[in-house]
Structure 1
Amino acid sequence: MKKITDRPFVMCLMMTSVDGKILSEKWGSSSKVKSLLTAFEKTHEQIGVGAWIVGRTTMEKDFTNFEPRILKKGHQEIERNDFVAAYTGDSFAIAIDAEAKLGWKKATMQGDHVITILTEKVEDAYLTHLKDIGVSYLFAGNTKVDLKIALKKLHQLFGIEKLMLEGGAHINGSFLNEELIDELHQLILPIADGTIETATLFEVDKSVKRKAATVMKLKQVQQIENDVLWLTYTFN
């Protein structure tokens, strides 16, 4: 593993169909599919990285269940300083939420301390609520999240040395575009999605894409339970 001193070592862990699609809700609910989907959590636990990060859409869909955001009533004026709440342990659930849309009700997610990455345009009433419930927040830009700033702050303020990136497609694409992924763990399930509209592993808007393609080096191939392939790539 290469040495990085100013940010976490970023591993991207994603589960895909053989045609590179990532939205498992499109794959049905048969017992076979449900059995295949367990590969993700099992692999996550096997890798053993306690800090994980996702985009707002993934957090909302898979974890906060589309809870509406909460704005604290009354008049507040909050300086745009990072807030590190009291927490225990060394596991973190981190969300990239530039628009401050996530509805948080508590300071933990599946036992992990919540950290949300915001921009400075967020309302004071939203920040007041986060402080009240003990959710940590970091600012990483005025109107758009700068991932390099976010990663440096996660390293400096929380001591995070390794970070697991787990989607969705646009956040994965943003990390890829900024050359901030150090290792890719792709679980290829024996499923063919076949849909046109379903998101793929990495998606980068053509207006910001920096180069034609990213070349990786295959580090390891494993066939695990239920004919799932676990591919590990490093980035040159």
Structure 2
Amino acid sequence: MFQNIIEILILSAIQGISEFLPISSSAHLILVSSLYEFKSSSLLIDISLHLGSLFAIIYFFRKELLDIKNNQKILVLITLGSVPLIIVGYFLYTTGIIYSLRNIEVIAWTTLIFGIILYIADKSRFDKKISANLNFQSILIIGLFQIFSLIPGVSRAGITMTAARILKFNRVDSSKISFLLSIPALSGASFLGLKDLFDQSVEFNYLVIIAIVSSFIFSFVTVKFFLEYINKFSMNAFVIYRIIIALFLFFIIYF
């Protein structure tokens, strides 16, 4: 039992931290699952981890989400910006193509390439803001960029922040756009997972509650401190981290 709880906490930390940082949660979960055979890992636990992150981001932005009158434009744009990911993601999922992308070599190259693109985009010193500058054209471009996040290693947070920085939004607002876009993305992932879950015989247990709660905590803390961090510093630390991970994977693959 104790080992199961430790495994859930590790998976929750990976999900909660990497989901909202520009380092790819799917890549980290795939890599950890490949290196270690976690007995607690299952479809039900995966869904629970995603639900924990979803609840955390909804709770973090609860004021904006509930204040529909003043934030109607932003909420509509975020919904529209999520349509490309939902359509393409559903197609790749139902055809099974998405599973062919889940390998270490793909992760290594996408981690490196999109890390470098993030570095270049983050050099922008422009200062567009969500309230004044987010419109249909910009959210559509960010939404199209978000499709790349279906490839493990790209990072949904990373690619949406990259797109927003290319469009000259400041770092904090680029991060907020990315976080708000995560709500439909996580909802979609959870829905597809639940759809598969209904086709299986599963047993709900205490690990599900631990997974949801711990993922919620790690996710909430990550979002809170990342926004404070990015208000003062650049994305360089995350770019360096991605390069180190990529080089490590290249060593494993090619040597």
TM over 0.5: no
Q: TM-score, normalised by structure 1?
A: 0.24
More strand, by proportion: 1
1 or 2, which has the higher helix percentage? 2
Higher relative contact order (CA 8 A, sep 6+): 2
